[in-house]
Structure formats: structure tokens, C-alpha cells
Chain A
Amino acid sequence: MARKLNLRIWRGDSDSGELKDVQVEVNEGEVVLDVIHRVQATQMGDLAVRWNCKAGKCGSCSMEINGKPRLACMTQVASYPEGETITVTPLRAFPVIKDLVTDVSFNYKKAMEIPAYAPPADLAPGDARMQQVDVERSQEFRKCIECFLCQDVCHVVRDHEENKKSFAGPRFFIRIAELDMHPLDILKNRKKTAQEEHGLGMCNITKCCTEVCPEHIRITDNAIIPMKERVVDIKYDPARWLGSKIRKREGL
């Protein structure tokens, strides 16, 4: 059954902006992206919003709904109490372009800084063989849809613009973990560069990235903390360091 919803939408660009109140019809089963599209079609024809699949798989419609980073296409209007005003803003960790659209190129720059998968030089295409138990940890991280909600909520860059130079963010820590745990990846300095170049030590594991991940990837427990422990192995554990020198083991 249709009802009226009070919606506050942030309108503006990098120079100025404000929250605008609108009232819009909402039907049973609709998600926030549906009502934004209705506002766009009936009241604000120039409202900018990025979207694509409407199925929670493309990561385009990331925004903040009542202050929480979420996918608009996966957020049921009915999940909010009837009568409550829903406030929609762009992601607050990235530069705004217009209305609900932000410039997320920070993430693409960081992606380029992570060295790619490095298989053995003598491994011909099609010859890679792995056991399931060896790749299942990495497979969890492959579920990432690059919505960048984790990057948006991470206070290291959200609350400190200056840290963007030295901090890759949770999305790229799972990328590093995925490769460091990959059975055929032979690049040896991923742990060291994770700490020294990508800012793993900046993370204080407050787990907001895990809380907002729409794919329910256990970013902190399964990627960031294991990587922190691997960094301890090579940088802060003299017993491990000595053991690796004596036994000359390059990887277990």
C-alpha cells in the first residue's frame, strides 16, 4: 500500500550544498533507490545519483542513509520506522561531484599501487593447479563488489584527509591479503609493503569496515588481523625472524 515518505536529500556540489526536504510516495517492498528515482522523475529532474544493477552486485549506489554507509538498492524503506524522515547524503569520505555522486578515484589510485598477482615464471597459462583448502581464504575476498563503503566508513581517511597519501584502506588490505595467502603468488614482500607503504599499521581494527560490508566479508578478522600478524612475523618477532634465517624457509 502506498504511503508518503519524508525524505531529506543532500543537493549541491563541491562549493556548497544543503539538505532538501521532499515528500514522496513509497510502495510496499521498495528500497531507498526506488524512492530516489521517484523524486528524480517527479520533483528533482536534475538530481545526480549513481546506480546500475539494483541488485547489490555492482557497488554503484553507495551513499549514506541516516548517516550510515549503505547501498541504496539494498536498503528497504520498511526497515525504518513509519513516520521517520530518511536522510540521504553522498559518501562523506570522498570529494563530492554533484548531489549524491562522489569522486571515488582515490580508490583506483590505491588499486594501482598494489602489485598484481605474481605466479611462478615457469607456470604456463592453463597449468595452474591448486587445492580448494589453499584458495578458500582468498576466495572470500573475491566477493568484494568495490562499493567502497568500507573505504568511506574507515575513520583513518574519513576523519583525516591527510592520511589518504599513506593509507590504502580496508578494500586494498583484503586485496593484499588475498594475494599474500594465494598458493601460487610468489611475490615475497607483500607483508613488508603492506606495513611500510600501504599503511596497515594505521588501522586500529575498530571493525567499521566489516560492519558496513554488503557482501559480509569479515574484513578485519580474516584479512586485516591476519596480515597484521604476518607483519609481526617479519618485523616485530625476533624469534620468528631468527628461525627464518636459520632454517631458510621462504614460505610455509
Chain B
Amino acid sequence: MSGVFSPTRAKIKERTLRTDKWWLQPLITFGVLFSFIIYATFRAFENANYFTEPLISPFYSPCLSEACVAGSTIAGFTPVSAQVLNFALSPALIILIFPLGFRMTCYYYRKAYYRAFWLSPPACAVAEPHEKYTGETRAPLILQNAHRWFFYAGLVFNVFLTYDAIISFKNPEGQWGHASVGSLVLLVSSTLLWFYSLSCHTCRHTVGGRLKHFSKHPVRYKLWTWVSILNHKHQQFAWYSLAAVAFADIYVREVATGAWTNFYFF
């Protein structure tokens, strides 16, 4: 017997004596993240309905495959073959590893899924079911230390998604100076992704957190204070940006299939 049932500890048979609804938050987290994973997997393999002039789904951008539909690539740049080992590769599968890796190794999401999926622990002061625990000291969880590389990749993706939002201010004929519901959807999605990335703990460390003497680096200290303010809201930005990206993809898909009409304000 280990943990709270160890021989020297107070003999209490309950795994927890909490009387509040401690199970509710991990349950909601599990439900939302699991739904997102199912939906994102379906969309990544669907390989269709991700582009309708001038909107492209964030799941498929940047579209780098020869299989990308006309108009969805950036200046026709398609370095990746449409097939890998006789397998028709969806353009989403080429790129999703980066945003997925960024969120999987994110310090906030780690808390969320360790609690909700791995029950380690399910909630504070609620005994976990595992016999052994080694944390993030060995494979595969030691790979969480690669978070900064996914952060850098995430910044590059944000640039592409911001570009997508900007060109969505064209009409389907390619003329500038128009705005639609889709433009706003992509704009909100890319903006929230910037907030999510810039509020990241690794960003906070990179801009100034690693310094020992702030006084010798006043600019980096200022950046660190700004990122620290955003960092307080990292959890919220994580959820808002996830929801916004999912909705942006749903919106583009529904417009591409013709189910919804992309309404133009002007």
C-alpha cells in the first residue's frame, strides 16, 4: 500500500474526503478535449472542403502538398508530394504535428490532460489510481522538454494564419477591400492564436525569464513584464484559441460544402 494508505499515515479508508464536485472540471476538460481530438482527426483525414476562395481552414494552412486544391497554396509552393509510400497524404497531416505538438507540450494543457485523461491526479488531494509515478523524467514524457521548439514552429504558423486572415479581406474574385463573416472568423482565430503563443511560459522565459539581472537588460525586462501579464491568462487563451480554430475550420468547411453562405458586409 502506498501513498495516502502508507502504514505511517493516518488510517483513513477514503481516497479523498473532499465534498465538493472535484470531478466536474476534469470531466468537462476530458469531454471538450476528446471531442476536439475526434473532430480534428476526422478533418485531418477528410482531405476536402478546406478551401473556398478566399478562405482556407487553419487545419490545412499553409497548404504545402501537391494535392492541395487550386488557390489554397502560397504562390504555388508545394514541396511535399501528394503521395507518400503509396498513401494519399492529406495536406493537414503534414503540418498538424506542429500545432498539435505545441498544445501537447504546453504547460497549461499538461495540467489539463494529466488531470482529465491520466488522473495523475484527477484533482488536488484526490488519490490517483497509479501504483508508480516517474513524472517527466523518462520517455516519452521527457519529450515535454521540447516545448520551446514547438513554440518557435507555432510562431511561424501564426504568421501564415495571419496572412490567411489578411487575404480573406478580398472577395471571391480576388479584389481587395471586402469583408465577410469569414474574414472576421479567421481574424479572431489568428489573433487568439497570437495571444495564446505570446502568453506561453516558454515565450516568457525566452524574452527575459532566463535572465539573472533584469537591470542590465531593460528592454527584455519590459518585454518580460508584458508577457507576464499575458501569461496570467494563458489558460483562457489556450481554450479560446482552441475553440476559435475549431470554429474557423467548421465555418470554412460549411461554406466550402455550400451549407452556409459567407455573408459579405461590403
Chain A interface residues toward B at CB < 8 A = 10, 12, 14, 16-19, 64, 66-69, 84, 87, 89-90, 92-96, 102, 131, 133-134, 153, 155-156, 158-163, 180-183, 199, 201-208, 211-212, 221, 225-226, 228-233, 235-237, 251-252
Contact = CB atoms under 8 A, between A and B. Distances in A.
A207 B16 CA distance: 18
B11 A17 contact: yes
Interface residues of B, number: 55
A68 B124 contact: yes
B29 to A, nearest CB: 12
A181 B212 contact: yes
B148 interface: yes
B209 A229 contact: yes
Contact of A64 (B114, B125, B128): B125
B10 A89 contact: yes
Contacts of A19: 12
B19 A84 contact: yes
Nearest to A160: B133
A199 B216 CA distance: 31
A96 B10 contact: yes
Nearest to B205: A229
Contacts of B147: 232
Is the contact region of chain B dominated by helix, strand, or loop, or is it mixed? loop
Is the contact region of chain A dominated by helix, strand, or loop, or is it mixed? mixed
Contacts of A162: 2
B136 A204 contact: yes
Nearest to B112: A206
A68 to B, nearest CB: 6
Given A16-B11, A134-B214, A161-B6, A207 B133 contact: no
B135 A203 contact: yes
Interface string B193-211: 0000000011011000111
B214 A133 contact: yes
Contact of A69 (B125, B141, B214): B125
22 contacts: A67-B17, A84-B19, A89-B10, A95-B9, A133-B221, A153-B125, A155-B127, A159-B128, A201-B142, A204-B120, A204-B136, A205-B111, A205-B114, A206-B110, A206-B115, A211-B124, A221-B231, A229-B205, A229-B209, A232-B147, A236-B146, A252-B211
A152 B2 CA distance: 15
Contacts of B20: 66
B4 interface: yes
A170 to B, nearest CB: 12
Interface string B128-151: 101011111100011001111000
Contact of A229 (B19, B133, B201): B201
A14 B8 contact: yes
B157 to A, nearest CB: 20
Given A94-B9, A162-B2, A229-B202, A208 B19 contact: no
Given A92-B9, A96-B10, A230-B210, A206 B114 contact: yes
Interface string B4-32: 10111111100011111000000000000
A92 B10 contact: yes
